[in-house]
Amino acid sequence: MARKTLTEVGSRIIIVAFLVSGVAHLIAPEVFLPLMPDFLPLQLELIYLSGIAEIVAAVGLIAKLRWAPIFTALVLLAVWPANWWAAIDATAQGDTLTAIFGWLRLPLQLPLIYWALKAPVRAKTLEGKTTK
């Protein structure tokens, strides 16, 4: 029972975080530009795309759609290199506060990926219909 509750709480944490972050990506994309590796093209477009992906993942988790846990984990994995880049870059530039935040953020993605994969989904019946 405790594990199920922790998984449900974890799922809710991801939903809230992805909704807030996804909207932030769309309304203030410039905040995320320093996190982007210099070698990536179309940085602004990638920021918008990641924001949309986060919102889609959150909505999928809210609706308990079967594809949502895997999609959410893939989104977390897709943005992980940018988080590594940000931590390394902040360290190299001597930006201590950003570096500390960046390095602390990296291991926190592991439980988020776990919670994403364990997020509750609607069960499928023998007839192939989805139930709540």
Q: Report pTM.
A: 0.85
Domain count, the chain: 1
Question: 98 is in which domain, residue-wise?
Answer: 2-117
CA 111 → CA 16, 20, 62, 99, distances in Å? 15, 19, 19, 21
Query: Is 26 within the bounds of a domain?
Result: yes
Using one digit for the tens of pLDDT, what is the confidence trace for 20-68? 999 999 999 999 998 888 888 999 999 999 999 999 999 999 999 999 9
Query: Is 34 within the bounds of a domain?
Result: yes
In the chain, the percentage of residues whose pLDDT exceeds 70 is 90
Query: Is 131 within the bounds of a domain?
Result: no
Query: Is 123 within the bounds of a domain?
Result: no
**Which residues are CB-contacts of 122 (< 8 A; sequence separation ≥ 6)?**
64, 65, 66, 130, 131, 132
Which range has the worst mean pLDDT, 58-67, 104-113, 118-127?
118-127
Query: Is 130 within the bounds of a domain?
Result: no
Query: Is 126 within the bounds of a domain?
Result: no
CB 44 within 8 A of CB 33: yes
Note the pLDDT of residue 8. Answer: 86
Query: Is 125 within the bounds of a domain?
Result: no
Question: 95, 78, 75: which is closest to 15 by C-alpha?
Answer: 75
